C-alpha cells in the first residue's frame, strides 16, 4: 500500500462525508419543512406553553375566536378553562393600562415637586 492509496481512501471518505451532510441538509430543508407558528390555513394558534412538571404542561391556544387553557400530559389533554378571545384581549389591555407604574425618574420628579 503506497501513499497514493492512502490519499485516495481519505479523498473518498471526505467525498462520502460531504455527500451525507448535503443529503441531511436537503432532507431537513425540504422533507421536514413546517412553520412553528402554523400556516394561515391553520385555525389553531398556540399562544403559550409552560412546563409545570416533567412531561406536564399548561398550554393556552386560540381556536375559532375562543381561547382555551389546556392541561397537557403524556397520557391526556384536559380542558381547564375557556374564554372568548375578544373579552380576554380587552381584559388584558385594561390590566396593562391600570398596572402601568411610573419609572424612577418620574417618581423622583413628583416627590421633589419638579415637573
Summarize pLDDT for 11-22 with one digit per residue, the tens: 999 999 999 999
| Angle formed at CA 85 by CA 79 and CA 87, multiple of 5 degrees | 115
Give domain status of residue 25, yes or no. yes
Same domain membership, residue 98 and residue 70: yes
Same domain membership, residue 90 and residue 53: yes
CB 38 within 8 A of CB 44: yes
Average pLDDT over all residues of the chain: 81
Give the CA distances from residue 83 to residues 61, 66, 79, in Å, rounded to whole numbers and listed in that order. Answer: 10, 6, 11
Question: Using one digit for the tens of pLDDT, what is the confidence trace for 47-85?
Answer: 888 999 998 999 988 888 888 989 999 999 999 988 887
84's grid cell: 372568548
Please give the pLDDT value at position 70: 92
Give domain status of residue 74, yes or no. yes
Give domain status of residue 105, yes or no. yes
Give domain status of residue 38, yes or no. no
Cut 0.75: pTM above it:
no
Domain that holds residue 4: 1-33
Amino acid at each position: 500500500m503506497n501513499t497514493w492509496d492512502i490519499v485516495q481512501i481519505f479523498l473518498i471518505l471526505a467525498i462520502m462525508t460531504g455527500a451525507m451532510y448535503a443529503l441531511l441538509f436537503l432532507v431537513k430543508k425540504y422533507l421536514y419543512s413546517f412553520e412553528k407558528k402554523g400556516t394561515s390555513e391553520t385555525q389553531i394558534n398556540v399562544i403559550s406553553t409552560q412546563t409545570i412538571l416533567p412531561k406536564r404542561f399548561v398550554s393556552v391556544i386560540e381556536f375559532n375566536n375562543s381561547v382555551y387553557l389546556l392541561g397537557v400530559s403524556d397520557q391526556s389533554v384536559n380542558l381547564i378553562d375557556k374564554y372568548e378571545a375578544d373579552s380576554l384581549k380587552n381584559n388584558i389591555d385594561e390590566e396593562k393600562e391600570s398596572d402601568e407604574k411610573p419609572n424612577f425618574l418620574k417618581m423622583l420628579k413628583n416627590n421633589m415637586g419638579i415637573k
